Amino acid sequence: MEKFNTYFITGGAGFIGSHLTARALSEGKRVIALDNFSTGSIDNIDSFKSHPYYEFHEGSIHDLRLLKELSQSADIIFHLAAAVGVELIVNDPLNTIETNIRGTENVLHAATKNKTPVFIASTSEVYGKSEQFPFKEENDIVLGPSYLSRWSYAATKLVDEFLALAYSAQRELPVVIARFFNTIGPGQTGQYGMVVPRFIQQALAGESITVYGDGEQSRCFCHVSDVIEAVLRLINEPKAYGQVFNIGSQEEISINQLAERIISLTQQETQRQQRVKITHTPYEQAYRPGFEDTVRRVPDTSKVEQLVGWQPQYKLDRTIKDIIHSLVSAVAA
């Protein structure tokens, strides 16, 4: 089915990038990875270093010369490098803006010479404060005011989409854009505010799980393996080029319910008797005054399902158990 043999992955040492690398190498693909370790980790790529089909370069997507050089050998580019995580975005909005917009423009420019297909990772954050549920790709976008840096990530990723579609329309560059809805799985860190690994780490340590806000905000969490399957199906479908797709689960859960679920599953998987507590922290304490969050984030995935027949296979409980096992194994090692 797959027509691409050499993958160039930006953000290759990141959570999704390393899982994509593992899948690609298992299928006999060659992988060229680029990462500057700003949020990626050397631990994510340790197992690939000696693989004959793996090539890693430490560098930045701000380096256009390097991007052009590495993209020359690739059949397809997966652009996953970005400033991610709510805490990082709130605390360093300038880096978010520069990395996400300038970096994406560089990737698209580098791909233009050979018309190398590009997959662009976008985010459900672009829907902002929209209340048109579930979110559909053609929905209007509703963002908060520019003086709240929390919305800079959504705005920059939306600009990335505009850039990619402009390159598609005006320079005939094959691009596919996917809006990820809360991708989780083994190897993800809670360091930058990712809620599921943060909760699990707290539960494993016997600490109180810290919920921001009232906890009634709801999300849909999708296993990284399901996400990668959707991505690979899309990039191998010519009808997907020049389009935007939602990728996520429709198993909606409130953050309070998520915390309870993680406490229960952690107890089951570790056979601990002590039950950890849940505490609530106001957003202004967790981040800064004026922070806004979205109440619901639920995808309509009928578009990707109809085009390539994709549906998520992992239920949330199984995904949480996978993360618990990976974190317990990491501590044991």
Query: What pTM, to 2 d.p., does this model score?
Result: 0.95
Note the pLDDT of residue 272: 77
| Percent of residues, the chain, with pLDDT higher than 90 | 81
Flag whether pLDDT at 93 surpasses 90.
Answer: no
Note the pLDDT of residue 85: 65
* Kind plus residue range of the DSSP H or E element containing 161: helix 152-171
Tokens of 36: 């500057």
Q: How far apart are CA 42 and CA 56, in angstroms?
A: 11
Tell me whether residue 153 is one of the annotated catalytic residues.
yes
Flag whether pLDDT at 326 surpasses 70.
Answer: yes
pLDDT in tens, 174-187: 999 999 999 999 99
Mean pLDDT rounded to a whole number for the chain: 93
Confidence band (pLDDT; 50, 70, 90) for 92?
confident
- If one counts the domains in the chain, the total is 1
Domain contains 28: yes
Mean pLDDT value across residues 148-177 = 95
Domain contains 284: no
Flag whether pLDDT at 204 surpasses 80.
Answer: yes
Domain contains 195: no
CATH number, residue 112: 3.40.50.720
Q: How far apart are CA 320 and CA 323, in angstroms?
A: 5
Flag whether pLDDT at 142 surpasses 60.
Answer: yes
Note the pLDDT of residue 150: 85
Mean pLDDT value across residues 195-220 = 95
Flag whether pLDDT at 319 surpasses 90.
Answer: yes
**Best CA proximity match to 45, nearest among 16, 70, 69, 73:** 16
Confidence band (pLDDT; 50, 70, 90) for 1?
very low
Mapped onto helix, strand or coil, the DSSP state of residue 137 is coil
Note the pLDDT of residue 45: 96
Higher pLDDT, 141 or 96: 141
Domain housing 235: 6-185+221-250+298-313
Cα 333 to Cα 48, 51, 137, 219: the distances in Å are 18, 22, 43, 32
What phi and psi, each to the nearest 5 degrees, are found at residue 261? -65, -45
Domain contains 161: yes
| Percent of residues, the chain, with pLDDT higher than 70 | 97
Mean pLDDT value across residues 118-144 = 96
Confidence band (pLDDT; 50, 70, 90) for 333?
low
65-74, 145-154, 257-266, range with the lowest pLDDT: 145-154
72-76, 87-91, 161-165, 269-273, range with the lowest pLDDT: 87-91
Residue type, 75: D
Which one from 153, 167, 212, 287 is the annotated catalytic residue?
153
Tokens of 101: 């917009």
Domain contains 41: yes
Flag whether pLDDT at 273 surpasses 80.
Answer: no
